[in-house]
Structure 1
């Protein structure tokens, strides 16, 4: 049975724990679908919740409702929204205000927010043991945390104080990370394995070789997104750009989920819109995925996954993802 699509004000009050993500258009919704399937493939026991704006089409919301437990509509431009007046004073923080809605989800006792461009390689449920606000140090400035993943406790009071802080202080980087870091100054640091920035894993290769096998959440931060890579339909693997070979197993895992579990559920018209918004063009996607053979892609993907990287890229996670994909395809 699919999730109930509700407005944020209509959410029922119950205590549980959930992973929360955000989609502001159909393109990011596709990324969120891959993220949700990856969490399920690693055996999460928590609820899956996604905040969507009205820019996400009704058709895609319906697809989301079959994967997420909760699809909650938010819109910072709604005159009934408490963020509306704040947004008028600080219009540059529109996307940030949308993300702040996660603190209004008081039907959950604790949540872990994940950006839609992340992928679960191992079960990260232990994150719920940590207090608010727990996060991973940002690679650019380790005194700050990266807001792609954070543990938090929903609270209307915290939400209102965040809005007030946004009005008065604003954001030093123009986004949610600058705002949240000046609000949660005494944050709790957790391991890099909970928010590993994929594009920098090879800058300290000895550490990656030692700890890479323990990575739980991969973050495709910056320009190197899975959907920007060239996908080889014949081999069923990603043709990684020169210098980014370390990303191959993570990209293959993302694309295996996308090709087998996400793309077949999306109408062609919605896929084109998603491609226009944040992926490659529809023509490029068609070229990359045309004529895919499922058996061949899984076998080749596994071979490339394991070849030369057996000890430190989380090969067991590939088994989980593959088994999950196969189980879903049989349903």
Structure 2
């Protein structure tokens, strides 16, 4: 109770805190950690190249931790590194973490999950599909959001539609591509292979691929990007080539980060509430999640939603 444990009833917590204030007791953090053989730190392990995603996830985790004595330790890693697993093993052993939040794409690495189980370290995985026991998952259903993007563009009358996906090491990239393609197929459409490009979820990657796509003849009248960072790269190249958005080119992003409303015109994007995802992950780690979707067991679910803005319109009939 002195530890502000999330498992203690509020009534009990208030009584104990009143006594603590009365006697002037100050708990020793090191002693508390030794007593429990585990620190009061929660680790967030990530390899996501999108800064806004990382910041929003941190904010959500801190939202969920507010009012407790737990601290957040953010640990970036490079999944492609030869020392990736050994570095994480050292990190987990050294910190004796209370628990770990795994974000994409490290959340998809079964080797890392196996290691956490060996250390008996609680974890929650944030991923686009169910990968583990329901009690360990926050599932984001990325394919659903990509399908909304496809229906939106098809409904506007676009047929020459390009797609810039995320890197293949991210399950989200595969799910977003799958959802987009399947929804287009429902409309009798498909992405021309020449217009289906693999990106890396970065602004620079969006620029490089946009230069290739917008040099095609005929060029696409619409582009669906795997995230907002790459969509911003498309904006830059379109501006350089005097291609008007949305008159000459419609653009859709994914995540609905702050970037989406900072661009001009404001970007149509699939909203993925990353901050809420972080809060749900902490609730699940603490075992506090109370609101569950009927029939979903203990899986915490997030459903993306398309937010239409001024970057999409019907194609120019002369294009």
TM-score computed with the length of structure 1 as normaliser: 0.30
- Higher-Rg structure is 2
